[in-house]
Structure 1
Amino acid sequence: MNARHPAPGQPRRWRPTPLVGGAAAVHAGALAALAVAPATWPWAAGGVIASHLALTAAGLWPRSTLLGHNWTTLPEQPGARIAITIDDGPDPDVTPRVLDLLDAHRARATFFCIGERARRHPRIVEAIVARGHAVENHSQRHRHHFSLQGPGALRREIDAAQTTLGEIAGTPPLFFRAPAGLRNPFLEPVLCGFGLQLASWTRRGFDTRTGDAALVARRLLDGVAPRDILLLHDGHAARDANGAPVVLAALDTVLRVAAERGLHTVTLREAIV
Structure 2
Amino acid sequence: MSSAGMESGARRWKPTPLLTGTLALHAGAAAAVAAQPAWWPWAAGCVIASHVPLAAAGLWPRSDLLGPNWTTLPPGAGNRIALTIDDGPDPEVTPRVLDLLDRYDARATFFCIGDAVRRYPELVVEIVARGHAVENHSQRHRHNFSLQGPRALRREIEAAQNTLTEISGVRPLFFRAPAGLRNPFLEPVLCALGLQLASWTRRGFDTRNRDAEDVARRLVTGLAARDILLLHDGNASRNPQGRPIVLDVLPMVLRAAQDAQLRWTTLRAALDSQPSSAHATLTPDPQIAGTRAEASPQPDGTQ
- Scaled by the length of structure 1, the TM-score of the pair is 0.96
Match of 1:110 in 2: 109
Match of 1:236 in 2: 235
Report how many aligned residue pairs link the two structures. 265
Q: Distance in 2 between matches of 1:83 and 1:10?
A: 24
Alpha carbon RMSD of aligned pairs, Å? 0.9
Question: How far does residue 78 in structure 1 lie from its aligned partner after superposition?
Answer: 5.6
**Letter of the 2:134 counterpart:** V
Q: Distance in 2 between matches of 1:167 and 1:252?
A: 32
CA deviations over 1:59-115 (Å, ceiling 9, x no partner):
000000000000000000263110000000000000000000000010000000000
Question: How far does residue 45 in structure 1 lie from its aligned partner after superposition?
Answer: 1.2
Please say which of residues 132-141 and 23-32 is displaced more in the overlay: 23-32
Please say which of residues 47-56 and 110-119 is displaced more in the overlay: 47-56
Q: Distance in 1 between matches of 2:139 and 2:156?
A: 6
**Letter of the 1:58 counterpart:** A
Question: How far does residue 10 in structure 1 lie from its aligned partner after superposition?
Answer: 2.4
Q: Distance in 2 between matches of 1:226 and 1:77?
A: 11
CA deviations over 1:166-196 (Å, ceiling 9, x no partner):
0011011000000000000000000000110
Following superposition of structure 1 onto structure 2, how do residues 147-158 of structure 1 map, counting pairs within 5 Å? 147-158=146-157
Question: How far does residue 12 in structure 1 lie from its aligned partner after superposition?
Answer: 1.1
Q: Percent identity?
A: 71
Question: How far does residue 42 in structure 1 lie from its aligned partner after superposition?
Answer: 2.1
Match of 2:289 in 1: none
Match of 1:99 in 2: 98
**Letter of the 1:145 counterpart:** N
Match of 2:28 in 1: 29
**Letter of the 2:97 counterpart:** V
| Contact kept in structure 1, 2:77 and 2:226, CA below 8 Å | no
Q: Distance in 1 between matches of 2:235 and 2:77?
A: 35
CA deviations over 1:32-75 (Å, ceiling 9, x no partner):
11111111122211210111111000000000000000000000
User: CA 1:21–1:201 in 2, change beyond 3 Å: closer, same or farther?
Assistant: same
Q: Distance in 2 between matches of 1:54 and 1:258?
A: 37
**Which ranges in structure 2 are unaligned for 5 or more consecutive residues?**
1-7, 275-303
Q: Distance in 1 between matches of 2:74 and 2:42?
A: 43
Q: Distance in 2 between matches of 1:79 and 1:57?
A: 32
Match of 1:5 in 2: none
Q: Distance in 1 between matches of 2:10 and 2:128?
A: 24
**Letter of the 1:15 counterpart:** K
CA deviations over 1:3-56 (Å, ceiling 9, x no partner):
xxxxxx921111100101111111111111111111112221121011111100
Q: Distance in 1 between matches of 2:253 and 2:203?
A: 12
Q: Distance in 2 between matches of 1:111 and 1:59?
A: 23
| Contact kept in structure 1, 2:78 and 2:226, CA below 8 Å | no
Question: How far does residue 156 in structure 1 lie from its aligned partner after superposition?
Answer: 0.4
Structure showing the higher helix proportion among its residues:
2
Q: Distance in 2 between matches of 1:239 and 1:265?
A: 26
**Letter of the 1:176 counterpart:** F
User: CA 1:121–1:153 in 2, change beyond 3 Å: closer, same or farther?
Assistant: same
- Scaled by the length of structure 2, the TM-score of the pair is 0.86
**Letter of the 2:87 counterpart:** D
Match of 1:4 in 2: none
Match of 1:264 in 2: 263
